[in-house]
Amino acid sequence: MTQVYDKVALIGLGLIASSMFWAMKRGGLASEVRGFARSSETRETARKIGLCDVVCDSLKEAVKDADLVVLCVPVGVMGDVAKEIAPFLKAGATVSDVGSVKNAVIDAVGPHLPEGVEFIPAHPLAGTEHSGPEAGFAELFDNRFTVLVPVEGSEKKAISKLRELWEGMGANVEEMDADHHDLVLAVTSHAPHLIAYTMVGVADDLSRVTDSEVIKYSAAGFRDFTRIAASDPTMWRDVFLNNKEATLEILGRFTEELFALQRAIRTGDGEHLFDYFTHTRAIRRGIIEAGQDTDAPNFGREKK
Q: Minimum distance between the CB of residue 243 and a copy of itself, rounded to whole angstroms? A: 9
Q: Minimum distance between the CB of residue 142 and a copy of itself, rounded to whole angstroms? A: 8
Q: Minimum distance between the CB of residue 97 and a copy of itself, rounded to whole angstroms? A: 16
Q: Minimum distance between the CB of residue 45 and a copy of itself, rounded to whole angstroms? A: 18
Q: Which is nearer to a copy of itself, 91 or 282 (CB)?
A: 282
Q: Is 48 helix (H, G, I), strand (E, B) or coil?
A: helix
Q: Minimum distance between the CB of residue 105 and a copy of itself, rounded to whole angstroms? A: 16
Strand blocks (E) in 126-194? 145-148, 172-175
Q: Minimum distance between the CB of residue 117 and a copy of itself, rounded to whole angstroms? A: 28
Q: Which is nearer to a copy of itself, 49 or 273 (CB)?
A: 273
Position 187: which residue type? V
Dist CA 38 CA 40 (whole Å) = 6
Would you give the distance in Å from CA 240 to the centre of its chain? 13
Which residues touch 131 (CB under 8 Å, ≥6 apart)? 14, 15, 231, 232, 235
Q: Which is nearer to a copy of itself, 43 or 123 (CB)?
A: 123
Q: Which is nearer to a copy of itself, 103 or 226 (CB)?
A: 226
Hey, CA dihedral for 126, 20, 75, 151, is it positive or negative? Answer: negative
Q: Could you tell me which of 70, 78, 187, 192 has the C-alpha nearest to residue 129?
A: 192
Give the number of other Cβ atoms within 10 Å of residue 257's Cβ.
11
Q: Which is nearer to a copy of itself, 153 or 221 (CB)?
A: 221
Q: Which is nearer to a copy of itself, 62 or 200 (CB)?
A: 200
- Provide the β-strand partners of residue 96: 70
Q: Could you tell me which of 45, 191, 52 has the C-alpha nearest to residue 131?
A: 45
